Structure 1
Amino acid sequence: MGYLLCVFLTVLPSVFSLPYFMNGRPRGGMVGVPVLSERPHTEPQEQWISQRLDHYNDADLRTWQQRYYIDDSHYIAGGPVFLNIGGEGPLNSKWLMAETTWIQYAMKYGALCLLVEHRYYGKSHPTVDVSTDSLQYLSSEQALADLAYFRNYIGEKLNITNNKWIAFGGSYSGNLAAWFRIKYPHLVDGAVATSAPVLAKLNFTEYLEVVRDSLASSKAGEACNKNIQAAVIDMQKKLQTTEGEKLLQNIFQVCGPINSTELKDVQNFHSLVSGNFEGVVQYNRDNREFEGAVGTNITLDTLCDIMVDESIGDPLHRYAAVNTLMLQTYQTKCLDISYDNMIQEMRQNSWNSSAAEGGKQWVYQTCTEFGYYQTSDAINQPFGHNFPLSFSLQQCQDIYGKQFNQTTLTAGIKSTNTNYGGLGLKTNNVVFPNGSIDPWHALGITQDVSQSVTAIYIKGTAHCANMYPEKADDLPQLKQARKTIEILIGKWIQ
C-alpha cells in the first residue's frame, strides 16, 4: 500500500512473475529515495533498538534489532516529538532530510523527528527468514507494541518522556498512527492518519467502484469505462478460441502461450491488466516524482485518452495499448500471467529473495488480519468479474498453507475491527485526510467522528497526496488540507 509516501517501483529490464501492483502495494515497496533541497544536510545515521520477538508471551525472551533514525536539526528544547511510522516497505534516512509536509511542520513547531521501521520490512528482520512459521510474529498488534516500547525507550534515553508526541503515517502506517493513539493514548498525544483504511474488510468490492468513478471524472468521461467494459467482454470471447488466445498473447505481449483451460492463469491475466488502471488511479497526480517514482507522467487522463482513441483500433487493442505503455514504463519485457510462477516466487523464504522485499510480508498481513482484496465482484464496474474473491483466497493457501482459509481470515478481520474499532473507533486528537480519487478512502474515515476526531476529504486528490511536498499546481483544497493539519497539530501540542 506505508513514512508511506506512498509509492516507489523498482525498475529493471526483466520479466517479473510478481505484479507491479499487488493488493494495493506497488512492487518494490512504498518508499523511494526523495529529492533533497539545496540547503545543507547532515544525514542521520542508522540506529538500532532491541525489541522482543513476541510482546505477548512473557516466556519468550528472544529479541531482534529494529532500525530507526533521529533528526534533531529542527528541535527546540521542550518542543514536540514527531514519530513517523514505517509501513510495508524499507525506510531511508533521506526522509528526515527532504522537506516533505511533516518536516515542514517540524520546522514550524521545533520538533524532534523520529523515523521507525516496521518489523519484517526493510532491514528490520526479526527472524532468520520469511517462511510461514517465521511470519507468525508479523501483525499490527506486534508492530504497535514495538512502537510503545520504542517510545518509552527513546523517551527515557533522550529525556523527552514528557514532551508532546505526534504520530504520522500514511496508508497502512496511517492505520498504525491512529491505532497507536487508540491503544496507547498515554504515550502519544495526537495522530495524523493519512489515507488510512481503518476498516478491515474481506471483499473490498468498493475499490473498483471508486476506480470506475475516478476514470469517469477524466476528460474522456464515461466513455473511458464503456470502452474498458467492451474490451474486457471481447477478451473473454477471444479466450474461447485458439486463434483468439494467440491474438491476446500477441497484443498484450504475454510471456508464453495462453491456455484458457488454466483458470488461475486467466484470472491472473484479467487481474494484471485491470491493475494497470488501479495503480495509476490510486496515485493519480500525486507528487511522486519527488521520491524518484517511475511513471509519474501517467495519469488517469493518460489512460482514458488511450481508451477513447479510435486511431489505435477497437477497444480491445486500446486496452492492450495501455498494457504496452505500462510494460514500457516499468521496463518489463513481457506480461507473465502464469499463476504458478507468481506463487513460486511468493513462496521464497530468503531475505534476499524478490518476495521478501515486502510483497510476501504484506500479502501475509492481508491473509491474516485485513483482507482488503480488490476483487471484481462488484456488479457495477467495467473490469468484468474474472478475478473473484476466491482468486485472492486461493493465493493465501497456495503461498502460506491450507490453514489460511476464508474461515480463519474472517475471524482475523473480525478481531482487527473489534480490537481497533473499524469505522466506529473511539479516540481523540486524530485527523484523517483522504482523497476522493483514492479507492482506499472507501474504507477510511471521511466524515468527522467528533470535534477532536476530524476528517479532511480532499476532492480531486489521490493516495497520501497531502504528505508530499506542495507543488504550484496543487488543487486549492489540497493546499488547505495541509494547512488545516498544521493548525490541528498546533492545538494538540499546546
Structure 2
Amino acid sequence: MKTTILSLLLLGFACVNAGVLLKTKHYGSMNHRDDLLPQASNNEPLWFTQKLDHFNPADDRQFKQKIYVNETYYKRDGPVFVILGGEGPAAPSGIEGRFIVNNYAQTFNGLIVSFEHRHYGESVPLGSLSKESLKYLSSQQALADYAVLRDFIKSKYDVSLKSKWIAVGGSYSGNLAAWCVNFTHVNLTFSTSAPVKASVAFPEYMSVVQNSLGEECAGVVRKANDEIENLLKTADGRARLSKEFSVCNPIGHTDDDLSTFLSGLADPICGAVQYNLDNNSLGNKLGIKEVCSFMKPEEPLRSLINFTNHYNKVFERECSEGTYENYIKQLQDETPYPKNQNAAGRSWMYQTCMEFGYYQNAVGRDQPFSKYISLPWFLNQCEQLFGVKNVQANVDWTNQYYGQLDIKATNTIFANGNIDPWHKLGLLKGGYVDANNVFFMNGTAHCADLYAPRDTDLESLKNTRARTLELLEKWL
C-alpha cells in the first residue's frame, strides 16, 4: 500500500505510503509487480452496475465496476471468496493462482471473485479522477460497493443461502476485510498486513526498515544519504547527483525538490523490505539480501547509486524524479487508468489525505533516510492537490468511526509479519478478537500469507497457513 506513488505496493509501491512518483506504474499492495507476471489469460472481466453515492438516496447516478470470477472449483452451497480490491487495478492473476485463495477454493469447492475498488483501475465514476469524482472515493463507499456486489453474485451464480461469504484483503484492502464484519454481510474474513489504526505521521515505518535491513546495511544507506544531503547544497553537487542517479530533469534547489529526489531514493529500499521474500515473479531478487549485497561500508554513496540504477534497470524505469513541479504534475493528472499508468497514485494520495495519513516521514537517527522526507512535505501535497488543510481531523474521524485496534470480530484472521513495516499499525494481539485468530510471523513481510505457498516458505508462514486451514475447516 504505499503512499509512495509509486508503492508498492501496495510497491511497485515502495516506501509504502506517501512517497514519490517514480516515473513508473502505481500498484496496489496486493498486486505489486503484477506486470512482471505472465499476462496471457482467458479470464475476461465482468462488469456490473454500481451506485455512485450509497449515502444519498436522491442521487441515482451509476457507474460500471469490474470483477473477475473463477468458477473452476465451485459447487453449489460452497463458499464465496471475495478478494477485495485495494489501491490498484484488478487483474486476472488475482483469480488464477497468485493467491492462496485458489487453494482454499479448491479444498472447499468455493467460488472466487476479485473485486476492483472504485477509482482504481477502470472502475472510475464520472469517467475521470477529477475532484468532483474523487468526492465519492472513500472506504465507506467501498464497503457499500461490496454489499451491491454480493447481491449481483448471488443472482448471477445462483449462490445458495447455505454458502458462506469470505472477504479477503491485504494492506488497505485488509482494513476493508476487517471492517466488513460490522458494515456488510460477511461470514468470515482474512485481514492481512492491515494498518487498521490510521496515523498522520508514520515514522515507525522507517525504523522498521532499518531494523529489517540490519545495522551494517542500514548504516551504509544512512551514510549515503548524509553524503547526498551535503552534495545537494551546491549546484555542482546537484549536477553530479542528477547524472549519477539518472534523474529525469536536473535536481531542483528548493526543499520540495530535495524532498522529492530523496524520497525517490528511499522508495526502492522500502519496497525491498516491505515485500522481502514474497512469492512473486521476482522471488527474492529485490529483497533485503539484494539491497544489502550492494551496500559496501567503504563507499556508501557509490553503493546507493549502483543499487538505484540496478533497480531502475530491473523495473525498466528510465529515470528518477528530481523536481517537485514534475512530481506534482503527475499527481494532478485526472486521466484514469490505463491511459494514465500512475492514475492509482492520485486516488491513493486522495485517500491518505481524506482518511488515513500513513505518511512515512524520516525522523531521527534510528532510520536510514533523509530528514527531507518530512511530514510538512506530505501535508503540503494534500493542500496543493485537493485543498485539504486538516489531515489530522480526517484521520481522527477514521479512527473514531472504525475503532482503531478495538475491532470486534469473531471469525476474522489477522496476520502480520515482523519484517513488514506496516505491522506497527496493525492488530498484533487479541483484545476483542480471539487470540487464536491473530498471527504474528517472524521473518515475513507484507501480505505474505495471502500468496500461493511454496516449499521454501519460512516455518512461521507455513504454520500460519496450517492454522488458517484448521480455522476454515472449523468455520465452514
What TM-score, normalized by structure 2, do the two folds share? 0.90
Residue deviations 1:335-387 (CA, integer Å, cap 9, x gap):
22111001111111122542653111111111110111111135521213111
State yes or no: 1:307 paired with 2:290: no
The answer to whether structure 1 residue 19 and structure 2 residue 5 are counterparts is no
Task: Please state how far the C-alpha of 1:95 moved relative to its aligned partner.
Answer: 2.6
Residue 323 of structure 2 is matched in structure 1 by: 338
The secondary structure found in structure 2 opposite 1:115 is: strand
| Change over 3 Å in CA distance of 1:327–1:93 after alignment to 2 | closer
1:482 and 2:465 aligned: yes
1:269 aligns with 2:261: yes
Aligned-pair CA distance for 1:26? 7.2
CA contact (8 A) 2:9 2:26 kept: no
Deviation at 1:306, TM superposition (A): 1.6
CA contact (8 A) 1:80 1:109 kept: yes
**Match for 1:417: what amino acid?**
N
Correspondent of 1:239 among 232, 235, 244: 232
2:220 is aligned to 227
Aligned partner of 1:386 among 352, 363, 372: 372
| Superposed CA offset, 1:240-260 (max 9, x none) | 233322332232222333343
Post-superposition shift, 1:441?
0.9
Mapped to 2, the partners of 1:386 and 1:199 lie a distance apart of 25
Q: Pick from 321, 325, 332: which aligns with 2:306?
A: 321
Give 1:396's aligned residue. Answer: 382
Secondary structure of 2:66's aligned partner: strand
Task: Write the letter of the residue equivalent to 2:285.
Answer: N
Structure 1 position 23, deviation (Å): 9.9
Q: How far does residue 308 in structure 1 lie from its aligned partner after superposition?
A: 2.3
Are 1:429 and 1:452, in contact at CA under 8 Å, matched by a contact in 2?
no
Q: 2:244 aligns with which of 223, 243, 251?
A: 251
- Look up the equivalent residue of 2:59 and give its one-letter code: D
Asked if 2 retains the 8 angstrom alpha-carbon contact of 1:24 and 1:279, the reply is: no
In 2: Cα distance, 1:334 partner to 1:5 partner: 18
Match of 1:298 among 286, 303, 310: 286
Tell me how far 1:298 sits from its aligned partner.
1.8
Q: Which residue does the alignment assign to 1:421?
A: 403
Distance 2:35 2:304 in 1: 29
The answer as to whether partners of 1:29 and 1:90 remain within 8 angstroms in 2 is: no
Separation in 2, partners of 1:362, 1:417: 18
Contact 1:28-1:357 at 8 Å conserved across structures = no
| Percent pairwise identity | 35
Coordinate RMSD, CA, aligned: 2.7
Give the distance between the partners of 2:31 and 2:289, measured in 1 at CA.
Answer: 25
Once the 2 structures are TM-superposed, how far is the Cα of residue 473 of structure 1 from its aligned partner?
1.4
Equivalent in the alignment of 1:180: 180
Within 5 Å, give how 1:132-147 maps onto structure 2.
Answer: 132-147=131-146
Label 1:378 to 1:430 Cα distance change in 2 as closer, same or farther (>3 A): farther
Separation (CA, whole Å) in 2 of partners of 1:34 and 1:484: 29
Any conservation in 2 of the 1:6–1:464 contact (CA below 8 Å)? Answer: no
Counterpart residue type for residue 88 of structure 1: E
Structure 1 counterpart of 2:278: 286
For residue 7 of structure 1, report the CA deviation from its aligned partner.
Answer: 6.1
The separation in 2 between residues aligned to 1:416 and 1:74, in whole angstroms, is 38
**TM-aligned CA deviation for residue 117 of structure 1:** 1.3
Alignment of 1:410-449 (within 5 A): 410-449=392-431
Give the match for residue 460 of structure 1: 443
Q: Would you say the 8 A contact 1:435–1:460 is kept in 2?
A: yes
Q: Which residue is 1:198 aligned to?
A: 196
Q: Is the 8 A contact 1:194 1:434 kept in 2?
A: yes
Say which SS state the counterpart of residue 65 (structure 1) adopts: strand
Distance in structure 1 (CA, Å) of the matches to 2:150 and 2:28: 28
Is the Cα–Cα contact under 8 Å of residues 53 and 136 in structure 2 kept in the other structure? Answer: yes
Q: 8 Å contact 2:23–2:321 — kept in the other structure?
A: no
Which AA in structure 2 matches 1:19? Answer: L
Equivalents in 2 of 1:153, 1:135: separation in Å? 24
What SS is found at the alignment partner of 2:303? helix
2:446 equivalent to 1:469 = no
Following superposition, the deviation at residue 264 of structure 1 comes to: 0.7
Residues 421, 236 of structure 1: alpha-carbon distance in 2 compared, 3 angstrom cutoff: same
Counterpart Cα distance in 1 of 2:228 and 2:72: 56
* Structure-2 separation of matches of 1:420 and 1:20: 34
Partner of 1:108: 107
Structure 1 unaligned residues grouped into runs of 5+ = 11-16, 217-221
Question: Offset of 1:87 from its aligned partner?
Answer: 1.1
Q: What TM-score, normalized to structure 1?
A: 0.87
Structure 1 residues 351, 22: CA separation in 2 closer, same or farther (over 3 Å shift)? closer
**464-473 or 188-197, larger mean C-alpha shift:** 464-473
3-state secondary structure, aligned to 1:127: helix
Q: What amino acid does structure 1 have at the position aligned with 2:345? A: G
Gaps of 5+ in 2: 14-19
- Listed one character per residue, the Cα deviations across residues 286-334 of structure 1 (whole Å, up to 9, x for unaligned) are 1111xxx6x8512212212221264xxx212212222221222222333
- Give the superposition deviation at 1:455: 1.5
Match status 1:160 vs 2:148: no
Q: Deviations over 1:31-72 (max 9, x none)?
A: 447559xxxx99444222211100000110111111123322
Distance 2:412 2:31 in 1: 30
Displacement after TM superposition at 1:415 (Å): 1.6
For 1:133 and 1:354, locate their aligned partners in 2 and report how far apart those are by CA, in whole Å.
18
**Contact map agreement 1:231 1:316 (CA 8 A) in 2:** yes
CA distance in 2 between partners of 1:276 and 1:212 (Å): 14
1:154-175 Cα shifts (integer Å, max 9, x gaps): 3344242442111111111111
Contact map agreement 2:165 2:187 (CA 8 A) in 1 = yes
* Distance verdict in 2 for CA 1:412–1:34, change over 3 Å: same
* Change in 2 beyond 3 A, CA 1:378/1:163: farther
Contact kept, 8 Å, 1:19 with 1:27, in 2: the verdict is no
What are the Cα deviations for residues 230-287 of structure 1, in whole angstroms up to 9, with x where unaligned? Answer: 2222212222233322332232222333343x11111111111111211111111111
Cα contact 1:376–1:383 (8 A) shared by 2? yes
Conservation of the 8 A alpha-carbon contact between 2:12 and 2:27: no
Question: Is the alpha carbon distance of 1:286 and 1:20 closer, same or farther for their aligned partners in structure 2, counting shifts above 3 Å?
Answer: farther
Contact 1:9/1:27 (<8 A) preserved: no
